[in-house]
Amino acid sequence: MSERTEESILRVEGLKKYYDTSSGFIDSLLGRGRSVKAVDDVDLELREGETLGVVGESGCGKTTLGRSILRLIKPTDGTVYYRDEELTAVSNVRLRRLKKDLQYIFQDPFASLNPRLTVGDIIGEPLDVHDLADGEERTERIGELLETVGLNASHTRRYPHEFSGGQRQRIGIARALAVDPEVIVCDEPVSALDVSVQAQILNLLEDLQDEFGLSYIFIAHDLSVVEHISDRVAVMYLGEIAEVGTTEEVFSPPHHPYTEALLSAIPEPDPLWEDEQITLPGTVPSPIDPPSGCRFHTRCPRIIQPDDYELTQAEWRSIVDLKLQTGDAESVGSLATTEEESVELSSLTRDRLDELIRSEYSLPRRVSDEQAEEVLSSAIDRLHAGEIADANERLDSAFVSPCERRPPDQYRTGDAHRIACFLYEEENDEHDSAGRADAVVED
């Protein structure tokens, strides 16, 4: 088994990667360009000999994070340290030398292999770049690498198209191992493979880690895969880290509400399984204009309501959904639907419109808080009058969650467990107080 230590081999502080959306010089000059915040202020550390899983749905910034860490793409801001050397500040010459210790396994095992090169040339290329071997020594090294990843040394003269998906991924792994690295970023290395082949590649990665003492950053969107291979897990949402901790901590309560939704989507191999899956409302917001405060609040089933109201959680979530939809709506018709296709919503009576909107957002005829009901009814009055902006202003000013006001810190819920959610703010204060009390007793 590889020896895992508490020492950080790779450390990421405040890493950001923004993409400019301006279409040219004129847009930039006039300030019309906007930034896609693919990765925004990420802090992580990878410990020697461990596997850090990075998980999240498609588009959350996982791959951009992995490539920014190794400077395959240039970060916008932040620092990355490899054994206390700042990768983000080194020269290109020094970075090229460090790439010997820092390697990458790409997601698509076919697109990442040059179809014009033989397998021997593909694996031998990093040996040539770093002047590690030539001649007979180079040939022997390539054969050893192929056998290490479960292929045959006789495959060196074949081309990538002659192999299956799993075999091509093994070639990609052999190429990464060629320079004897210490850290490998594995970018969804099994997502394009069949389930049976996935298990073979995961077991291979674990065996290689034990044999060579490798440290992995393992990027995936499949939590069951991450649970299998990772020592610690970081959950990403919309460019930020929502939760980080040991695998046991992340897969056991308490959870960030987003992590909880992801875990509920893992299917169980049991025909009698009836556990309730959490369906998140709405769609993932654009990273060009992410929500204020906690970025997950627009979809969070546990969004915190202000102290002014005493609503059920379902009522509060529905009111927030109505507020968000009203802010984006161009017409009243986009807020509700009617089975009578020929009927325009603008021609409906106020009571009928009220009924349709409450039905659309799963709101009762009267919500449980009278003050909230007054605001809601007033907003529907404005919608009936066709004044969408006025309705949105009333909802927006009256219904403000603490989750919208400022971004949450990463609150401690255990020794290594951090959750960026206001639900754990009070618990974090208690945890810190207990820690300070223990320190006083020890003194």
Secondary structure (H, E, C), 139-207 = HHHHHHHHHHCCCCHHHHHCCHHHCCHHHHHHHHHHHHHCCCCCEEEEECCCCCCCHHHHHHHHHHHHH
Q: Give the tokens for residue 169.
A: 């991924």
Q: What percent of the chain has pLDDT over 70?
A: 89
- pLDDT tens, residue by residue, 140-163: 999 999 999 999 999 999 999 999
Q: Which helix (H) or strand (E) holds 66?
A: helix 62-69
Domain boundaries, the chain: 8-264, 313-400
| Averaged pLDDT of the chain | 88
Weakest mean pLDDT among 76-85, 117-126, 342-351: 342-351
Distances (CA, A) of 413 to 248, 255, 394, 408, 428: 13, 10, 37, 14, 6
pLDDT value of residue 26: 59
Residue bearing the bigger pLDDT, 271 or 174: 174
Q: Give the tokens for residue 228.
A: 């299998």
Residue 363 has pLDDT above 80, yes or no: yes
In sequence order, what E strands does 188-338 have? 215-220, 232-237, 240-246
CA angle 8, 189, 97 (to 5 degrees): 50
Which phi and psi (to 5°) does residue 400 adopt? Answer: -120, 115
Mean pLDDT value across residues 304-308: 93
- pLDDT tens, residue by residue, 94-108: 999 999 999 999 988
pLDDT value of residue 340: 56
Residue 181 has pLDDT above 80, yes or no: yes
pLDDT value of residue 331: 83
Q: What percent of the chain has pLDDT over 90?
A: 70
Which phi and psi (to 5°) does residue 43 adopt? Answer: -115, 130
pLDDT confidence bin for 6, thresholds 50/70/90: confident
Contact 413, 420 (CB under 8 A): no
Contact 375, 394 (CB under 8 A): yes
Instruction: Please tell me the pTM assigned to this model.
Output: 0.88
| Count of helix runs (H) and strand runs (E) in the chain | 16, 12
- pLDDT tens, residue by residue, 186-208: 999 988 788 888 889 999 999 99
Mean pLDDT value across residues 58-68: 94
pLDDT value of residue 342: 42
Residue bearing the bigger pLDDT, 74 or 221: 74
pLDDT value of residue 24: 63
pLDDT confidence bin for 347, thresholds 50/70/90: confident
Contact 49, 215 (CB under 8 A): yes
pLDDT value of residue 2: 53
Residue 244 has pLDDT above 90, yes or no: yes
Contact 158, 119 (CB under 8 A): yes
pLDDT value of residue 440: 39
Residue 317 has pLDDT above 60, yes or no: yes
Mean pLDDT value across residues 81-104: 94
Q: 370-384 vs 313-328: helix axis angle to the nearest 10?
A: 30
pLDDT value of residue 222: 86
Mean pLDDT value across residues 64-73: 96
Weakest mean pLDDT among 336-345, 375-384, 413-422: 336-345
pLDDT value of residue 437: 45
> Which CATH topology does 8-264 take?
Rossmann fold (3.40.50)
Residue 170 has pLDDT above 90, yes or no: yes
d(CA 186, CA 177): 12
Residue 428 has pLDDT above 70, yes or no: no
